[in-house]
Amino acid sequence: MTELSHLNPRRYPDPSIRSFDPRFDALRLASASVECLYQGARWSEGPVWFGDGRYVLWSDIPNNRILRWDEETGAVTPFRRPSGNANGNTRDREGRLVTCEHLTRRVTRTEYDGSITVIADRYQGKRFNSPNDLVVKSDGSIWFTDPSFGIDSFYEGEKQEPELPQNVYRVDGQTGEVTMVCDEVIGPNGLAFSPDESVLYIVESRSKPRTIRAFDVAGDGRSLTNNRVLIDAQQGTPDGFRVDIHGNLWCGWGMGTDELDGVRVFSPGGEALGHIALPERCANVCFGGRHRNRLFMAASHGLYSLYVNTQGVCGG
């Protein structure tokens, strides 16, 4: 059993939470601090909250497993191993786990009985690269990014030659048809919709500097228009992120310095509002807890949490 460690010092307000803009003060709680829930992963990614069971699942990609943290007991146990080098996770609108798998180069759904259904593993007869992150829209469609990270080495999958460009795809919630919705992002990574689903944000992780791009969702709900840079990350490295009910972006951030590692929070207009400092780079986040007001942060070797004064959007 891995011994849990905690951040120090323990003071209120937590000095690791910094405001850049007065608007961030309304999003933080004076008597809430960052908590370390687990240490012992090799590269933490893809957290997702299951309120019906009061637990978080998240991926430890190089160790080829999905871990489970239980809110009531604090225990961490294996949920699935091997996991196909799982990366991003979310839930569909029926509450089922949906996962991006690097090794198998596919998107899967875990059914209520524990069986696994392959949602998508090819586009026009060619295998995906390594599906990375995903989000489920209110119409049941699944949108996911497909960079080559999992096939670039033997660390997060198996080194293989790509068969497709690095695109963003949509799986129709009714027919299962796979369509390519974006080929304009260099190294597409994390993605999320605005609260009203009128905008899709996508991390461009192979541009220098990295950016978070915004696209308008067309009236048909199936295509994207008006590609633009919302956030220039400068020295930061955005990876995965989620959106709160006010439209703010809570972004995994790093890497390798005290000023950058953690979670960077931006307004819907792209202004930096604040930062949650962690002792390691954060890859991805999710909102959970009874009121969706607890931010869970998958960061390198660990899992962290912080209660905040906002809520994550439903389905995010």
Q: What is the pLDDT of residue 114?
A: 96
256: pLDDT confidence band, cut at 50, 70 and 90?
A: confident
Q: Is the pLDDT of residue 6 over 60?
A: no
Establish if 312 belongs to a structural domain: no
- Here the contacts of 208-215 (C-beta below 8 Å, separation 24 or greater) are 209/233, 209/234, 209/235, 209/236, 210/236, 210/237, 210/238, 212/238, 212/241, 212/249, 212/251, 212/266, 212/270, 213/184, 213/185, 215/182
Higher pLDDT, 258 or 80: 80
Buried/exposed 268-301: b ≥16 CB within 10 Å, e otherwise: bebebbbbbbbbbbbbbbbbbbeebbbbbbbbbb
262: pLDDT confidence band, cut at 50, 70 and 90?
A: very high
Percent of the chain clearing pLDDT 70 (strictly above): 97
Mean pLDDT of the chain: 95
258: pLDDT confidence band, cut at 50, 70 and 90?
A: confident
Range in 10-14, 65-69, 202-206, 238-242 the model is least confident about: 10-14
56-81: average pLDDT: 98
Q: Is the pLDDT of residue 2 over 50?
A: no
pLDDT tens-digit profile of 265-289? 999 999 999 999 999 999 999 999 9
One of 92, 239, 244, 261 is an active-site residue; which one?
Answer: 239
Establish if 216 belongs to a structural domain: yes
- Do the beta carbons of residue 243 and residue 250 sit within 8 Å? yes
Domain count, the chain: 1
Residue type present at position 293: N
Q: What is the pLDDT of residue 8?
A: 55
Percent of the chain clearing pLDDT 90 (strictly above): 94
Residue 239 among known ligand-binding residues: yes
Q: Which whole-number Å values give the CA distances from 48 to 54, 94, 273, in the listed order? A: 11, 14, 24
Residue 132 among known ligand-binding residues: yes
316: pLDDT confidence band, cut at 50, 70 and 90?
A: low
Q: Is the pLDDT of residue 236 over 80?
A: yes
218-231: average pLDDT: 96
Closest CA to 284 of 104, 113, 88: 88
- Do the beta carbons of residue 47 and residue 56 sit within 8 Å? yes
pLDDT tens-digit profile of 86-124? 999 999 999 999 999 999 999 999 999 999 999 999 999
Residue 239 among the catalytic residues: yes
SS3 23: helix
Q: What is the pLDDT of residue 9?
A: 54
Name the E strands within 52-187: 55-60, 65-70, 76-80, 86-91, 97-101, 106-110, 116-120, 122-123, 126-127, 134-136, 142-146, 167-171, 178-182
Q: What is the pLDDT of residue 5?
A: 45
Domain limits for position 34: 17-307
Residue 45 among known ligand-binding residues: yes
Residue type present at position 48: V
Which CATH number does the domain housing residue 137 bear? 2.120.10.30
Q: Which two tokens stand for residue 184?
A: 């304009």
41: pLDDT confidence band, cut at 50, 70 and 90?
A: very high
Establish if 316 belongs to a structural domain: no
- Do the beta carbons of residue 313 and residue 195 sit within 8 Å? yes
Q: Which pTM was predicted?
A: 0.96
- Do the beta carbons of residue 101 and residue 108 sit within 8 Å? yes
224-232: average pLDDT: 98
Establish if 1 belongs to a structural domain: no
Establish if 261 belongs to a structural domain: yes
pLDDT tens-digit profile of 129-180? 999 999 999 999 999 999 999 999 999 999 999 999 999 999 999 999 999 9
Q: What is the pLDDT of residue 69?
A: 98
Q: What is the pLDDT of residue 1?
A: 36
Farthest-apart Cα atoms in the chain, separation:
56
